[in-house]
Amino acid sequence: MSEATASKLRKELEKVFNEADYPISEPMELIPVLPDGAGTTFEADNVRVGVMDFGSEYADYQDYPYESADALIDDLMTGFHEEGLFD
């Protein structure tokens, strides 16, 4: 796993999710801040993850409501690591 790639992906998530109004009680509340809506894809180096994957492949790692972007991103990054996104 590349920590540099993980760091780049985290920065991409921060750019978007820091724009949301917290607290967020469910994923649909994030749609307005996504640049391409439900079609948004986050990329870093050779890693790509679509926002729709958040609800399918990484849902078990999320625990709404979220009080901050950092808490949401921490959970997403945990899911990405656990599911081998950076392998």
Identify the band that residue 3 occupies on the pLDDT scale cut at 50, 70 and 90.
Answer: confident
Q: Which stretch of DSSP H or E encloses residue 4? A: helix 3-17
Cα dist from 64 to 6, 27, 34, 67, 77, whole Å: 23, 8, 18, 9, 15
* CATH class, 3-82 region: mainly alpha
Give the DSSP letter of residue 84. Answer: T
Please give the model's pTM, rounded to 2 decimal places. 0.93
| Domain boundary assignment for the chain | 3-82
Q: Which stretch of DSSP H or E encloses residue 56? A: helix 51-56
Each residue of 21-47: pLDDT tens digit?
A: 999 999 999 999 999 999 999 999 999
Q: Is 34 exposed, middle or buried (0-12, 13-18, 19+ CB in 10 A)?
A: middle
Both tokens of residue 14? 């921060």
The position carrying tokens 């809506």 is 37
Each residue of 61-87: pLDDT tens digit?
A: 999 999 999 999 999 999 999 999 987
